[in-house]
Amino acid sequence: MPMPRLIVNNDVKAGYLAIKDEIDAAIARVLDSGRYILGEEVRAFEEAFSSYLGVRFGIGVGSGTEALHLALKACGIGPNDEVITVSHTAVATVAAVELCGARPVLVDIDPSTYLIDPNRIEGAITPRTRVILPVHLYGYVSDMEAIGSLAHRHGLRVIEDCAQSHGALFEGRRSGSWGDLSVFSFYPTKNLGALGDGGMVMTDDPVIAERVRLIRQYGWRQRYISEISGLNSRLDELQAAILRVKLKYLDQWNEARRRKAHLYTTLLKDMDIRCPVEEDPQRHVYHLYVIRGRNRDALQTFLKEKGIETLIHYPVPIHLQKAYQYLGYRRGDLPLTETCSEEILSLPLYPEMAESDIVDVATQISSFYGKGNQS
């Protein structure tokens, strides 16, 4: 029998082909310039992205993980310090805290948004706490009013992890414009993705911005003269040029994601699954369309057999992973996170995805649950 047509979870090549001539011209411009590291393209993209967010300074770096590492270092975070964040996130969030020698303190999530629950933060604050690190997962922004108020009362910094929320809004302000600092990833699958690695640190604080600039290149203000201890984490010219082109289309692509996500929600609303929430004052940008329901693993296998690629973001919470056993958490410590990780599934979604494919995915999910697979 012929194999079913594959519906991929994400098609980054489709995004390239949609604006191929512009991207190819940007690449050629860089190659012709002879300047490939920290030149005009990086400077121009830093300014353009800062303007888009409404934040004074942007510093391009090598990846989203490095952006968070540099942001923490610029705030003086080091050994014996604690950073409050979530277990339900990409490992990169916690890895960056570790790179500073600091200790991640993990709290549970809101079961409807899958984001950090502000009501659980205060109980995790100790004399060693320095930073609250909310992760805006799946394209939805954490409750930054509540988090900012809490941080202000306790004299803590807020660093937003915006790796999945390019262009999302909370109370009319963009993700990345709320915290003392924010960090972005431009990994190819992101809403604003390069054709390789890249990241950026954002802040309104000129002192912090200058520290990040120094840290990203060996502490140099003058070449070969290190004012402070630094490292090598630079957004390169090729990726910056590509991102300058793509930034013009970000809002358009996010609207396409939103239309397709709303179609999913309409088609799936009467099934025994939970669809993403979007409530005022939020504007979701659907980096991922994540459903939640019983018998998740069987559903994923069923969809795979039908040629539909799904993923799980994320299958094992960080506090239960072998590498992080040293933190001392046990199963049952973060029950909402643990239950969520056993039930969530990311459906195919990207701006160029055909609406007929969304209908096919929803039809197959309906078929699965119609066969008595709800227990």
* 67-105 tens-digit pLDDT: 999 999 999 999 999 999 999 999 999 999 999 999 999
pLDDT tens profile 257-278:
999 999 999 999 999 999 999 9
Q: What is the pLDDT of residue 29?
A: 98
Q: Which CATH architecture has domain 250-369?
A: Alpha-Beta Complex (3.90)
The chain-wide mean pLDDT, for the chain, equals: 96
What's the start-to-end Cα distance of the chain, in Å? 31
Query: Given a cut of 70, is residue 178 above it in pLDDT?
Result: yes
Distance CA 25, CA 301 (A): 42
- Quick one: pLDDT at residue 371? 66
Decide if 205 contacts 184 (C-beta within 8 A).
Answer: no
DSSP state, residue 247: H
Q: Where are the domains of the chain?
A: 13-108+116-247, 250-369
pLDDT in tens, 119-137: 999 999 999 999 999 999 9
Specify the pLDDT at position 268. 97
- Reported confidence tier of residue 375, pLDDT bands at 50, 70, 90: very low
Distance CA 96, CA 25 (A): 35
Q: Per-residue DSSP letters for 138-187?
A: GG----HHHHHHHHHHHT-EEEEE-TT-TT-EETTEETTSSSSEEEEE--
Residues 6+ apart with CB under 8 A from 96: 65, 66, 68, 69, 72
Angle at 336 between CA 150 and CA 79, to 5 degrees: 50
For every residue of 86-142, DSSP letters joined together read ESSS-HHHHHHHHHTT-EEEEE-B-TTT-SB-GGGTGGG--TTEEEE--B-GGG---
What are the tokens at 255? 């609207």
Contact assessment for residue 60 and residue 91, using Cβ atoms and an 8 Å cutoff: no
* Integer Cα distance of 312 and 315 in angstroms: 6
The angle at the Cα of 183, spanning 262 to 231, to the nearest 5 degrees, equals 150
DSSP state at residue 1? -
pLDDT over 50 at 231, yes or no: yes
Q: Which residue has the tokens 């922004």?
A: 141
The pLDDT of residue 374 is above 60: no
Note whether 57 and 206 are within 8 A (CB). yes
Give me the CATH topology for the region 13-108+116-247: Aspartate Aminotransferase; domain 2 (3.40.640)
What's the confidence (pLDDT) of residue 183? 99
Could you tell me which residues are beta bridge partners of residue 220?
226
Portion of the chain with pLDDT greater than 90, in percent = 96
C-alpha closest to that of 188 among 363, 350, 358, 371: 350
